[in-house]
Amino acid sequence: MSPPARSPRPQPVTSSLIQWIDADYPQKPFEESRNDPDTVDWVRAIPFLFLHAGCLGVLWVGWSWTAVAVAFFLYGARMFAITGFYHRYFSHRTFRTGRKRQFLFAFLGATSAQRGPLWWAYQHRHHHRHSDEPEDPHSPKCHGFLWSHIGWITSRRNFPTDYGSVRDLSRYPELVFLNRFDIVAPLTLAAALLFAGSILNRFAPSLGTSGPQLLVWGFFISTTALFHATSSINSLAHLMGRRRYATEDSSRNSFLLALITLGEGWHNNHHRFMSATRQGFYWWEIDITYYLLLLLERTGIISDLRPVPEAAYIRNDSDSTVPPRARADVDTTA
């Protein structure tokens, strides 16, 4: 499902402005979009820059334990939505859940301002198919640290969603809507925080917070930290850490990155066995997302978590033949 084409086509600047609201505008053939220049589109990137600039609001609003707690809570909850659902569910289909539940977690993930779930899943599948090749949108090996960490999302060539590569997801109109108007979810969260802070300021003044303070801590600071932690998997997880498996890419395992991303730091494990729900393969490989997914499975919210294959535990696997990239394609039949 894709939005209808429009004409006449606006100038690029106008187009970039409209894309703040409608991420699918203008809809042109996907391959044509891929020929756009791989450079920073500053106009399109203004909301992203504004997200960072908003953190400076702390100079005016100060801090309170309430605001800091809200920031931490929203970091954790949304990191879980990104790692558990944007990544392990939408991108890799490593477990099953119902339609309403997938939408709720997609919405929570979308409040992270990391674009919509279909765009995220498309880009991530593309990353696995072309890991550390020039076609990989965020390979530090091919494009450098800064581009892989932050630059690639500001490039016009990476803006569109290839709905053709996420057909298993684009058959849900509510997900397509969320993906197309991806600014709605973060704005909803920002408005809710402003409102909640104002209510607390009026009815529970002992908490020492306010609408603007909750907005700065719960939205701007929490979301910016969340973005950079998630991005560190695109950049640092291909640069620092150990390699247990001899994959064709440069993915690595890092305890530190696993801690701040709730388990995504076991990136070499994941590149080698991407169909498994679990990414920390041993008890000491802390994978908080997996523990939370187990909890959701116990309560019946999700089901059919895919196990780590036996082959993952065979000694000297790093010396064995790693399956060719084509066989590592994402299974979208779930």
Strands of the chain (E only): list them: 96-97, 302-303
Q: Please, which residue, 214 or 288, has the CB nearer to Zn ion? A: 288
* Ranges within 83-122 binding Zn ion (CB under 5 A): none
From residue 292 to residue 321, the character string flagging contacts with Zn ion as x (rule: CB under 5 A) and all else as - is: ------------------------------
Name the minimum Å distance from CB 277 to Zn ion: 12
What is the distance between the terminal CA atoms of the chain, rounded to a whole angstrom?
19
Q: Please, which residue, 180 or 238, has the CB nearer to Zn ion? A: 238
Structure tokens at 244: 């247990």
Is residue 311 left, alpha or beta, with left meaning phi > 0 and alpha meaning psi from -120 to 50?
A: alpha
Name the minimum Å distance from CB 264 to Zn ion: 9
Contact present, 224 and 230 (Cβ < 8 Å): no
Which residue's CB atom is positioned nearest to Zn ion?
A: 251
Closest CA to 104 of 185, 169, 180: 185
How many residues of this chain interact with Zn ion, rule: CB under 5 A?
Answer: 1
Name the minimum Å distance from CB 208 to Zn ion: 41
Q: Please, which residue, 97 or 251, has the CB nearer to Zn ion? A: 251
CA distance 257 to 273: 18
Name the minimum Å distance from CB 116 to Zn ion: 17
- H or E element in which residue 118 lies: helix 117-129
Name the minimum Å distance from CB 243 to Zn ion: 12
Name the minimum Å distance from CB 150 to Zn ion: 16
Structure tokens at 288: 């908080």
Name the minimum Å distance from CB 249 to Zn ion: 6
* Ranges within 239-258 binding Zn ion (CB under 5 A): 251
Contact present, 83 and 258 (Cβ < 8 Å): no
Name the minimum Å distance from CB 268 to Zn ion: 9
Q: Please, which residue, 161 or 251, has the CB nearer to Zn ion? A: 251
Name the minimum Å distance from CB 125 to Zn ion: 8
CA distance 235 to 141: 9
Q: Please, which residue, 78 or 270, has the CB nearer to Zn ion? A: 270
Contacts for 59 with CB less than 8 Å, ≥ 6 apart? none
Q: What is the DSSP string of 239-297?
A: TSSB-SS--SS---B-HHHHHHTTSTTBHHHHHHSTT-S----STTS--HHHHHHHHHH
Q: Please, which residue, 5 or 256, has the CB nearer to Zn ion? A: 256
Contact present, 269 and 245 (Cβ < 8 Å): yes
Q: Please, which residue, 232 or 251, has the CB nearer to Zn ion? A: 251
**∠ CA 152-154-158 to the nearest 5 degrees?**
60
Q: Please, which residue, 230 or 251, has the CB nearer to Zn ion? A: 251
Phi, psi of 163, deg, nearest 5 = -60, -25
Q: Please, which residue, 150 or 189, has the CB nearer to Zn ion? A: 150
From residue 198 to residue 237, the character string flagging contacts with Zn ion as x (rule: CB under 5 A) and all else as - is: ----------------------------------------
Residues forming contacts to Zn ion in the complex (CB under 5 A) are: 251
